[in-house]
């Protein structure tokens, strides 16, 4: 069991998580103008907050996460709302790869900084996406390592530099077409409040 399994039951009580899901869904819709013939996939979906904000604009949405707790909560929400076009998948794409193909839009919110092997996950994303498909990454702008408390022993990325991330994506067949910073997370550090900006990078698969 990982910490996300433990946090799953109360995840949707996090007003910040709800707020950023709403904002990034709006940004994705505004740029991509998706239509209901397209199929989407959320990587690191958690309880599906972002996908629920996008439920009306896609034909199908596949929701992938490694946390059993998060997927269990997600399944309850899908059943409660009677959503037949949502498919939850418990899987580690880094370990298992994926037999999912033909995805028109793949999006991920605050998950990529947990993935050490960017090269491998970008290869998986490229395989899953349809020709000219879009990859939408919402995550932390490069930060000083204070976002995660020291006691967490976090070993992922301390956010991302725009140019370095775009170069890594280019090396794996993606062209960055949009970059914005529409949201910030505020955290208390002693007597001061620190802001951690979140970016939305949209890249297009180059056939």
Interatomic CA distance for residues 141 and 116, integer angstroms: 16
- Residue 183 token pair: 């949201």
What pLDDT sits at residue 14? 85
What pLDDT sits at residue 8? 64
**Under 8 Å CB-to-CB from 64, ≥6 apart: which residues?**
41, 42, 43, 44, 45, 89, 91, 93
Instruction: Give the CATH architecture of domain 3-205.
Output: 3-Layer(aba) Sandwich (3.40)
What pLDDT sits at residue 123? 96
Give the model confidence (pLDDT) of 6-20 as tens digits. Answer: 666 777 788 899 999
What pLDDT sits at residue 1? 47
Tell me the domain boundaries of the chain.
3-205
3-state secondary structure the chain: CCHHHHHHHHHHHCHHHHHHHHHHHHHHHHHHCCCCCCEEEEECCCCCHHHHHCCCCCCEEEEEECCHHHHHHHHHHHHHHCCCCEEEEECCHHHHCCCCCCEEEEEEECCHHHCCCHHHHHHHHHHHEEEEEEEEEEEEECCCCCCCCHHHCCCCCCCECHHHHHHHHHCCCEEEEEEEEEEEEEEEECCEEEEEEEEEEEEEECC
- Per the CB < 8 A criterion, the answer to whether 131 and 207 are in contact is yes
Chunk the chain into consecutive blocks of 10 residues (it has 207) and report each block's average pLDDT, rounded to whole numbers.
Answer: 62 87 98 96 97 97 95 96 96 85 97 96 96 97 92 90 98 98 93 95 95
What pLDDT sits at residue 4? 61
pTM of the predicted structure, to 2 decimals: 0.94
């Amino acid at each position: 069991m990982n910490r996300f399994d433990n946090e799953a039951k109360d995840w949707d009580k996090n007003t910040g998580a709800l707020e950023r899901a709403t904002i990034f869904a709006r940004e994705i819709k505004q740029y991509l103008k998706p239509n209901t013939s397209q199929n989407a996939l959320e990587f690191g979906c958690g309880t599906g907050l972002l996908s629920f904000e996008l439920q009306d604009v896609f034909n199908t949405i596949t929701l992938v996460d490694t946390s059993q707790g998060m997927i269990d909560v997600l399944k309850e929400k899908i059943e409660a709302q009677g959503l037949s076009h949502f498919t939850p998948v418990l899987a580690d794409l880094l370990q298992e790869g994926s037999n999912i193909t033909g995805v028109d839009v793949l999006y991920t919110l605050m998950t990529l900084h947990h993935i050490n092997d960017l090269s491998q996950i970008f290869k998986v994303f490229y395989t899953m996406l349809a020709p000219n498909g879009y990859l939408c990454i919402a995550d932390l702008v490069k930060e000083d390592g204070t976002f995660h408390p020291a006691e967490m022993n976090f070993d992922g990325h301390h956010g991302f530099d725009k140019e370095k991330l775009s170069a890594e994506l280019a090396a794996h067949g993606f062209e960055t077409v949009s970059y914005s910073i529409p949201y910030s997370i505020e955290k208390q550090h002693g007597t001061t409040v620190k802001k951690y900006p979140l970016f939305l990078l949209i890249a297009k698969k180059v056939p």
